[in-house]
Amino acid sequence: MREIYATAASWLDEGRPFALATLVELQAARTAPIGTSIAVSVNGDIAGNIGAGCYESEIVETAMRTLDDGIVRTLDVDLDTEDAFSGGTACGAVMRLLVWRPQRAFLDDARAIAAGERDVTLRIGSFEHRFPSKETLILIGATALAAQLAAIGRRIELRVIVVDPRPAFATRERIPEADAIVREWPDAYLPRALSARTAVVVLSHDPKFDLPALRCALRSDAPYIGLLGSRRAQSARRAALAAEGFSSFDLDRIHGPVGLDIGGTTAAETAISILAEIIAHRSGRTGTPLLTQASSIH
């Protein structure tokens, strides 16, 4: 959803006229989040997608009219209509869009929505939509799995930060898609970084990293705490934390072995399973956790 606003910022910056068709209301389905937009430029470039299928041609045509005259238009699209053009693919949704032409003054907000570093309120006439800052995923350990989590996590609009004090490991070359790489010990960085919008996944397989990170996470209101490692390693970490005074309630906050059991074995598949568990936890759903995790996944 945010990528289209990065495109909008780029087009505004270069002075290219364009219109946005922004989803403001949706009934009976969830094809895309409210605030999602399609951009149509003066030279016919189209960016973005709201899941309207064959009806997007109508959206583009309306955007071209608004691009020409600057008039804000309301467009209702009934995806329940089956005709020769839809091919009988009606899904029962009705979406309402506002089609508008952003001006130069929108540049800063477009950039801020795309970056997700602060809350931004989008206003189009009487319509208002708040884009909250991105949720953050902190990864302890600059591993190959961290690189996969950073790559996939950014695509689901997480801000991904990798924490590892080792200069040889914590490099942009090893983890090119992390939003930030922090070369600090976990217990030095986490106390100032954790919040109720910050998930933590510990990947290091080393108690001198794992335990300080888990201590900080358990003392915070982090909504999700994940720990990579076998059942044996999980038991050892929990025993060490229990000996320090952490309660069984505290230890139950740790998801470990981290990830849902989707049958994957590669680093990319494990990253998908971890992010799936984070999404499930965030939405209040449960899944089947992994029963084992090979120590070769780093």
pLDDT score of 89 more than 60: no
Whether the per-residue pLDDT at 52 is higher than 70: the answer is no
The arithmetic mean of pLDDT across residues 160-178, rounded, is 97
8-17 pLDDT per residue, tens: 999 999 999 9
Average per-residue pLDDT in the chain? 90
Domains (ranges, CATH) in the chain? Answer: 3-131 (no CATH), 136-282 (3.40.50.720)
pLDDT exceeds 90 at position 31: no
Model pLDDT, residue 86? 45
The pTM of this model reads 0.81
**Alpha carbon distance 140, 149 (integer Å):** 11
pLDDT at 276 over 80: yes
